[in-house]
Structure 1
Amino acid sequence: MPIVRDPLNPKLSMWHFLAFYLRFWREKMGLSLTQCGEIMGVQRGTVSNFEAGRRRPQEDHMRALDKHYGTGWLFQLLLWFARMAHDPDWGRQLVKYEEEAHIIRTYHGQVIPLALQTDEYTWAYVQSGTPKDFEAAMERRSTRKRSFFDRGTDVEMWAVLDESVLAREVGGPQVMKAQLEHLLKLADLPQISLRIIPFKSGAHLGVDGALQVLSLESRDIAYSAAQNGGRLIETPGEVRELSVKFDRIGAAAASLEASRDIIKRYLESYQ
């Protein structure tokens, strides 16, 4: 059975252009997937995934190709530009990385992280947006939540939330009450660490927006949220900067036990 490739549009993003160009040059040089894999030090299937845009190559892969093809810094520069550019397909790629991560470090100052939301809380935010199909949007978010908990203790979440997340009543009193109760239950799970930054902590770096640092098997990936999308960060130096920023934000948070007390205080207001 022939391999069915995902459609690539080199005009869509630098990642699609890089994947397109990888295949173009391999075929121009008359190399098979296996031969190209030997050059990069990966399996045949990995090369196929690179060329289909299903996986993203790293610096050592591009360095090996530049050396073999005699292209100077061409592929290394294409990788650099792909990492720096806005990726319209960032959402799908982020989900893939979340599924691979064994540690997810996340900070939110406006909303409870998706994996920790009740369905009713999630639905309230879905309805506050402008998708063409609310049901489809809800199903996508529910699938992401299930994929996290289906992995059990194979993945850990270290979540830091600003107290303003608890103060914002989402979906009405009953929805918020159930959400706070849900947070307390989740905080008892061994794979979840939940800490709250109290208002009295004052100014902290989290005011710049939500962020995530995902620890994969061989490297870390970062995600910085923004209006109308976000940006995946794969350059090691910038990922380290976001990781340090997460630690500095967390330094302003209360302890695990004190954070539970803060959640309980808000829950009492709904009794």
Structure 2
Amino acid sequence: MHARDSLDPSRSIWHFIAVHLRRYREAHGMSGQALGDVLDCDRSTVSRYESATLRLKRAHAEIIDRLWATNDMFTNLVDFADRADEGDWLLSLAEFERRATRIRMSDTSVIPGLLQTPDYARATLMAGTADDPNSALERRMSRKAAVFDKENPPRLTAFLGWAVLGQLVGTREVMRDQLAHLIELSELPQVSLRVVEKEAGAHPGLDGPFMILTVDDRDVAYTEAASRGRFLMDPFDIQEVAVRYDLISDIAAPVGPSRALLRAELEKYS
């Protein structure tokens, strides 16, 4: 299935922009290359605009409005989407995770949502500010299932800070089951879990959790804050996150020793 076939313009304004950009282009008999020439960009950029893997730049929206005499429609849509302040960020994250062929992530504060057991996830949600923890739990587990239960799950690498493993979340039983689950995941052929040990000292992972998702052969970066996430679509921004990933990779324990660290932590809850 092509990426644009999964767009839902009724639930995401960026999807709405992508769908209507393609419709207008085709209605005016223009190829993706022809529109790229007008925008002074390559055809792949137009394709990414139309699949919502790259968000339409305001400068390009202004050119399109002049080209097709839309009375500033695309410019206004982009402005509105920007003012929405990522209101659909969780929906977009789940969609990118579902479509991803590779996921790279790092977290030093909590075990990432895609790796959580239901009980661990419930404990983190109950400790937070979620208005409806049960609905939030259902969404989180649905995201996880969409990644791990599909026919060809993505290649996933996760860096976990050493403090994450020692932080008691929920009961001892919850932590025991969570650590056992991490060990099971680490044994999957497409999953690599690596621990950043205490001796590594200060490192770029302390700046906050992030993900890099490869979707339709393109990378999208995602950084997380207390109440919502932020997507980075610009190649220069994505490269900065990728450099952070590489720097953490340089200091993280290899897969085998990391699995041994997980087992050692599990023994503490036996």
Q: Which residue of 2 aligns with 1:19?
A: 17
Give the 5 Å matches for 1:1-271: 6=10, 15=14, 19=17, 34-36=26-28, 38-40=30-32, 55=52, 62=60, 65=64, 68-69=67-68, 86-271=85-270
- Distance in 1 separating the partners of 2:252 and 2:83: 31
Residue aligned with 2:156, SS: strand
Separation of aligned partners in 2, 1:7 and 1:147: 19
Q: Deviations over 1:37-76 (max 9, x none)?
A: 734469xxxx9xx79xx8355669x4884684489xx969
Letter in 1 for 2:158: A
Structure 2 SS opposite 1:141: helix
CA contact (8 A) 1:105 1:212 kept: yes
Name stretches of at least 5 consecutive residues in structure 2 with no aligned partner.
1-7, 35-45
Asked whether the 8 Å contact 1:162–1:196 carries over to 2, the reply is: yes
TM-aligned CA distance change 1:131 to 1:226, over 3 Å: closer
- Deviation of residue 5 (structure 1)? 5.6
Q: How many residues in Structure 1 have an aligned counterpart in Structure 2?
A: 247
User: Given the superposition, is the C-alpha separation of residues 7 and 247 from structure 1 closer, same or farther in structure 2, using an over 3 Å criterion?
Assistant: closer
Structure 2 Cα separation of the partners of residues 5 and 142 of structure 1: 24
The question of whether the paired residues in 1 share the 8 Å contact of 2:107 and 2:210 is answered with yes
Letter of the structure 2 residue corresponding to residue 173 of structure 1: R
Distance 1:155 1:7, change over 3 A: closer
Provide structure 1 residue ranges, at least 5 long, that are not aligned to the other structure. Answer: none
SS in structure 2 of the partner of residue 169 of structure 1: coil
RMSD in angstroms over aligned alpha carbons?
Answer: 3.8
Check 1:80–1:257 CA distance in 2 against 1; reply closer, same or farther (3 A cut).
farther
Contact residue 40 and residue 65 of structure 1 kept, 8 A:
no
Q: Distance in 1 between matches of 2:97 and 2:29?
A: 26
Tell me the CA shift for residue 111 of structure 1: 1.0
Whether the aligned pair in 1 keeps the contact of 2:166 and 2:265 (CA below 8 Å) is yes
Letter aligned with residue 27 of structure 2: Q
1:229 and 1:81 map into 2 onto residues whose CA distance is 18
Checking the alignment, whether the CA contact within 8 Å between 1:121 and 1:176 is kept in structure 2 is: yes
For residues 240 and 77 of structure 1, the distance between their equivalents in structure 2, rounded to whole angstroms, comes to 29
Runs in 1 of length 4+ with deviation above 4 angstroms?
Answer: 56-60, 74-85
Whether the 8 Å CA contact 2:104–2:211 is kept in 1: the answer is yes
Determine helix, strand or coil for the equivalent of 2:94: helix
CA gap of 1:5–1:195, structure 2 versus 1, over 3 A, is closer
